[in-house]
Amino acid sequence: MPTAVDIQGVSKRFRLYHQKYTSLKERVIHAGRTPYTDLWALRDISFQVEEGDTVGILGRNGSGKSTLLKCICGVLQPTSGQVVVRGKLAGLLELGAGFQPDLTGRQNIYLNGSLLGLSKSDVDRVFDEVVAFAELEQFIDQQVKFYSSGMYVRLGFAVAVNVDPDVLVIDEVLAVGDERFQRKCLDRVRQFQEEGRTIIFVSHSPDQVRAICDRAVVLSEGQMIAHGRPGEAVRLFRENLLEAGDVLAPSLDLPAQAVPPSVPGPSTSRHPVRITGVEVSHPGSGQRPYVVTGEPVTISVRFHCEEATAASFVVEIRDDMGRVLVRTVSADLDATIDVVPGDGVVSFRYAAVPFTDGAFGLAVGVEHRSGGELYDWKEAAATLEVMNPSKTIGLLSIPVTVLVEQDPAALGAALGP
pTM above 0.95, yes or no: no
Rounded Cα gap, residues 417 and 411, in angstroms: 11
pLDDT-derived band at 342 (thresholds 50, 70, 90) equals: very high
In 114-204, DSSP assigns E strands to: 167-170, 198-202
For β-strands 324-329 and 198-202, DSSP reports them as unpaired
pLDDT digits (tens, 9 = 90+) for 51-89: 999 999 998 888 999 899 999 988 899 999 999 999 888
pLDDT score of 185: 81
Give the domains, in start order, of the chain with CATH numbers.
Answer: 3-244 (3.40.50.300), 256-387 (2.70.50.60)
Instruction: Return mean pLDDT, the chain.
Output: 83
Beta-ladder partners of 201? 56, 170
Rounded (10°) CA dihedral 399, 401, 402, 405: -160
pLDDT digits (tens, 9 = 90+) for 156-202: 888 888 888 899 998 876 555 667 777 888 888 888 899 999 999 88
Q: Are 241 and 234 in contact (CB under 8 A)?
A: no
pLDDT score of 94: 65
Q: Are 219 and 68 in contact (CB under 8 A)?
A: yes
Question: Maximum Cα–Cα distance for the chain, whole Å?
Answer: 92
Rounded Cα gap, residues 203 and 25, in angstroms: 48
Q: What is the mean pLDDT of residues 209-231?
A: 90
